[in-house]
């Protein structure tokens, strides 16, 4: 499963279990998903520290600091959710 596909599953889980609003999905989740397609469209099990740092660098260079932190935090939340699944 690719990183974007994993994030799609996480988004569906969040929408169902956390009751995310459609506007939250559009503004936060879809924006991050598009970025994942560009930067981390790789099998999720191949992502290590180096590739994760590359993604963080892209965020830092292309986004405002608060947006960058929010996207990285959301991706970490996705990764934590996916552990053991």
pTM for the predicted model, two decimal places: 0.89
pLDDT attached to residue 7: 96
Q: How far apart are the first and last CA of the chain?
A: 12
C-alpha to C-alpha distance for 5 and 82, rounded to whole angstroms? 12
pLDDT attached to residue 67: 95
**73 band by pLDDT with thresholds 50, 70 and 90:** very high
pLDDT attached to residue 16: 87
pLDDT attached to residue 85: 75
pLDDT in tens, 38-63: 999 999 999 999 999 999 999 999 99
Percent of the chain whose pLDDT exceeds 90:
78
* Under 8 Å between Cβ of 4 and 72: no
Structure tokens at 83: 């552990």
pLDDT attached to residue 78: 95
């Amino acid at each position: 499963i690719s990183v974007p596909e994993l994030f799609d599953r996480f988004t569906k889980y969040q929408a169902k279990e956390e009751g995310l609003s459609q506007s939250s999905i559009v503004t936060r989740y879809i924006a991050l998903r598009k970025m994942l397609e560009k930067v981390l469209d790789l099998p999720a099990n191949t992502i290590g520290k180096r590739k994760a740092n590359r993604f963080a660098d892209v965020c830092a260079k292309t986004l405002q600091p608060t947006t960058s932190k929010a996207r990285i935090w959301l991706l970490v939340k996705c990764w934590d959710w996916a552990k053991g699944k």
